[in-house]
C-alpha cells in the first residue's frame, strides 16, 4: 500500500540556528547599522572565500569549497532545508512502497514539469538516471548512491528508485551535491563540466579565472519561481589570507565573506557598516594521521597523540575562541553522538601510551599539512604539545587543490582536516567507511565490523534502533582513536550590513539566491 514517507527530524539538541538580516538589524556590539554601497552595483554581490573549488563538476570532488558552487549552479532531487531535514527540490512528490518481502524499498518519484537546464533543454527522468549513474562511477561520491540498486523510467516525469533494503539515508544522499542532476545529452557527448558546468540551478556559470575569481548570472528560467535569484550577478573571489578578506570587506571591495577569520571578529563587531554571522556548527575538525603508515598503525601511538593535544589551547589560538573542543570521534549535536571512551587531554597519560608503544618518540616522522591560516595556527599549538612527549612534528602549507589530492591519495603522515555533513550517517560513510579510502576516508580506516555497522545504520528506519547502532559506532571509534579530533567551530561570516536575508545553517549552507540589497 502506498504511503508518504515521513522524514524524521534531525536531533539538534545543542545547536541553534542564527539569521543575520538587513539594514534594520542591530548586531551585538554595534551601535547602529548603516552599510556601505555595494562593491559593484545593486545587481551584483561580490563574495569572498578562502579556498578555490577543486572542481565545477558535481561528482568530481567531495570538497566544501566545491559544494558551495554546486549549490548555486545545480539542483538535486532533494535539498536540505534550514533545519537540516531533506525536502523535495526537483521532485514534486514521491511515495514509498513495499516490495514482495514487505520492505519499503520502492521509491516512486515525479519531477516538476518544465524544469529547464541552463542550455534551454528540459529535464526528464532520463537525465536523473544518467546523473545518478555518473555519480556511481565516481570514487569521490559513489558512497551516496550505494543503496540504489536499480533505476527505472516510467515516463518523462516519473521514475522509480529501488534500494537494497529500507533506507533511512536515501533522501539525505539525494541532497548531496554528487547526486545533482545534469543533462544526459551532455554526459553522452563528453561535455567537460569543469569548463562548461550546465545545471538547472538558480545561477548560470559565466567565467572562471583560476586563482582569482568565478562569475555567475541568474538563470532566468529557474523552475522554482518563489526562490529565484533576487540579485542578478555573483562575483566569487578567491582570497586565501584571512586578514586580506576582512580588509577587502571593510574597504567595500567585497560584500560577503564566507569564512571570516576568527581574529577579525572584534573589528567586524565594532564596524556599524558591517554585520557578523556567528553560528554554532556541526562541522568536525581533526588532526588526521595515516593509519597505514608506521607507527600510526599502533593504537598506543594514536592515543598518545590524542592525549597530548591541549584542545582548549587549540581553540583559543586557532579559532580565537570561536568554537568548542572536540569530545568525540564524531560530531556532537547529531543523533548518535557519544563521548564514552574518548582520549581527552592528559599529558601524563600520553606519556604512558608512548611507553606502552615502546619506541623512540624522536624517530616518529609527522608532517602536518595545512591548507589555510586557521589550520596552520592549530598545527603550531599541536607541534608544541607533541614536543612535550618527544615528537618533533613539522608543518607544511599547501593550496587546497594540492592538499585534497595528496591527502586523498594517502601520500601523507598527517594533516589538519575536517568534514561537514547534515546527518551522522553521511558523516560515518564519508569519514570512516572503507569504501571511501582514496576519497574522504583519509585515515584509511578499513575495519569490516565498522563498515557493517555503518551500513546497518543506513538501513535502520526506526530512529531509536538507529540511535543505538550509532552509539555503538561512536564508542568503537572513540576507543580506536583513528584520528585526533580537535574542535567543532562556529560558522563565522561577515557582510555589508545592507545585504538582506543572509542566513547560514549549522552545517554551513547559505542561500545567495535569497539575498537582496
Task: Tell me the pLDDT tens digit for each residue of 87-137.
Answer: 999 999 999 999 999 999 999 999 999 999 999 999 999 999 999 999 999
- Relative to beta strand 367-370, strand 394-397 is parallel
User: C-alpha dihedral over 3, 147, 488, 213, to 10 degrees?
Assistant: -100
The answer to whether the CB of 391 falls within 8 A of the CB of 368 is no
Fold of the 280-490 domain = Dipeptide-binding Protein; domain 3 (3.10.105)
Question: DSSP of 104-116, one letter per residue?
Answer: EEEEEEEEPTT-B
Nearest to 228 by CA among 238, 237, 218: 218
DSSP states along 87-98: EESSEEEEEEEE
Measured over the CA atoms of residue 333, residue 336, residue 341 and residue 343, the dihedral's sign is negative
pTM score: 0.85
Three-class secondary structure assignment of 476-495: HHHHHCCEEEEEEEEEEEEE
Superfamily, domain 36-273+497-516: Periplasmic binding protein-like II (3.40.190.10)
Q: How far is CA 479 from CA 24, 302, 355, 429, in A?
A: 50, 11, 18, 18
Q: How confident is the model at residue 422 (pLDDT cuts 50, 70, 90)?
A: confident
Q: How confident is the model at residue 33 (pLDDT cuts 50, 70, 90)?
A: low
Question: What local confidence, expressed as pLDDT, does residue 34 receive?
Answer: 83
| Cα 98 versus chain centre, distance | 33
66: exposed, middle or buried (Cβ count in 10 Å: 0-12, 13-18, 19+): buried
Flag whether pLDDT at 409 surpasses 80.
yes
Q: Are strands 233-238 and 203-209 parallel, antiparallel or unpaired?
A: unpaired
Asked whether the beta carbons of 450 and 495 are under 8 A apart, the reply is no
Domain spans, the chain: 36-273+497-516, 280-490
Average pLDDT score over the chain: 93
DSSP string spanning 213-269? EEEEEE-TT-S-GGG--SSSEEEEEE--SHHHHHHHHHTTS-SEESS--GGGHHHHH
Helix (H) or strand (E) holding 432: helix 424-432
Amino acid at each position: 500500500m502506498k504511503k508518504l514517507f515521513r522524514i524524521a527530524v534531525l536531533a539538534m539538541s545543542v545547536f541553534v540556528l542564527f539569521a543575520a538580516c538587513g539594514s534594520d538589524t542591530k548586531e551585538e556590539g554595534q551601535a547602529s547599522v548603516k552599510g556601505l554601497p555595494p562593491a559593484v552595483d545593486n545587481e551584483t554581490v561580490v563574495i569572498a572565500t578562502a579556498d578555490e573549488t577543486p572542481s565545477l563538476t558535481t561528482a568530481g570532488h567531495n570538497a566544501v569549497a566545491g559544494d558551495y558552487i554546486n549549490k548555486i549552479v545545480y539542483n538535486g532531487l532533494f535539498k536540505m532545508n534550514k533545519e537540516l531535514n531533506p525536502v523535495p527540490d526537483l521532485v514534486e512528490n514521491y511515495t514509498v512502497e513495499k516490495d514482495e518481502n514487505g520492505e519499503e524499498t520502492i521509491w516512486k518519484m515525479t519531477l516538476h514539469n518544465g524544469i529547464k537546464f541552463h542550455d534551454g533543454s528540459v529535464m526528464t527522468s532520463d537525465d536523473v538516471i544518467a546523473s545518478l549513474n555518473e555519480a556511481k562511477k565516481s570514487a569521490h561520491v559513489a558512497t551516496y548512491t550505494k543503496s540504489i540498486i536499480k533505476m527505472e523510467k516510467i515516463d518523462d516525469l516519473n521514475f522509480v528508485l529501488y534500494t537494497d533494503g529500507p533506507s533511512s539515508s536515501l533522501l539525505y544522499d539525494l541532497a548531496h551535491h554528487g547526486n545533482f542532476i545534469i543533462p544526459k545529452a551532455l554526459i553522452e557527448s563528453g561535455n567537460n563540466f569543469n569548463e562548461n558546468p550546465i545545471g538547472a540551478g538558480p545561477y548560470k556559470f559565466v567565467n572562471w579565472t583560476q586563482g582569482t575569481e568565478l562569475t555567475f548570472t541568474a538563470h532566468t528560467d529557474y523552475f522554482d519561481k518563489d526562490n529565484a535569484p533576487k540579485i542578478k550577478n555573483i562575483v566569487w573571489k578567491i582570497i586565501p589570507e584571512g586578514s586580506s578578506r576582512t580588509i577587502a570587506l571593510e574597504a567595500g571591495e567585497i560584500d560577503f565573506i564566507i569564512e571570516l577569520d576568527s581574529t577579525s571578529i572584534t573589528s567586524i563587531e565594532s564596524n556599524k557598516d558591517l554585520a557578523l554571522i556567528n553560528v554554532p556548527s556541526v562541522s568536525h575538525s581533526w588532526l588526521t594521521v595515516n593509519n597505514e603508515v608506521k607507527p600510526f598503525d599502533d593504537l598506543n601511538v594514536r592515543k598518545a597523540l590524542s592525549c597530548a593535544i591541549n584542545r582548549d589551547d587549540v581553540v583559543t589560538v586557532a579559532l580565537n575562541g570561536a568554537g568548542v573542543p572536540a569530545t568525540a570521534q564524531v560530531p556532537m549535536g547529531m543523533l548518535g553522538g557519544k563521548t564514552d571512551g574518548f582520549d581527552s587531554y592528559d599529558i601524563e597519560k600520553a606519556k604512558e601510551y608512548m611507553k606502552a608503544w615502546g619506541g623512540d618518540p624522536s624517530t616518529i616522522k609527522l608532517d602536518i599539512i595545512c591548507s589555510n591560516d586557521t589550520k596552520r595556527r592549530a598545527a603550531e599549538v599541536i607541534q608544541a604539545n607533541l614536543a612535550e612527549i618527544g615528537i618533533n612534528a613539522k608543518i607544511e602549507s599547501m593550496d587546497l587543490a594540492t592538499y585534497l589530492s595528496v591527502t586523498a591519495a594517502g601520500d601523507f603522515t598527517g594533516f589538519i582536516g575536517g568534514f561537514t555533513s547534515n546527518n551522522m550517517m553521511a558523516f560515518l560513510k564519508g569519514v570512516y567507511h572503507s569504501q571511501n579510502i582514496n576519497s574522504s576516508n583519509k585515515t584509511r580506516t578499513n575495519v569490516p565490523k565498522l563498515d557493517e555497522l555503518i551500513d546497518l545504520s543506513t538501513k535502520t528506519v526506526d530512529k531509536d534502533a538507529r540511535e543505538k547502532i550509532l552509539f555503538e559506532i561512536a564508542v568503537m571509534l572513540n576507543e580506536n582513536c583513528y584520528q585526533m579530533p580537535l574542535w567543532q567551530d562556529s560558522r563565522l561570516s561577515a557582510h555589508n550590513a545592507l545585504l538582506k536575508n543572509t542566513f547560514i545553517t549549522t552545517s554551513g549552507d547559505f542561500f545567495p539566491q535569497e539575498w537582496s540589497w
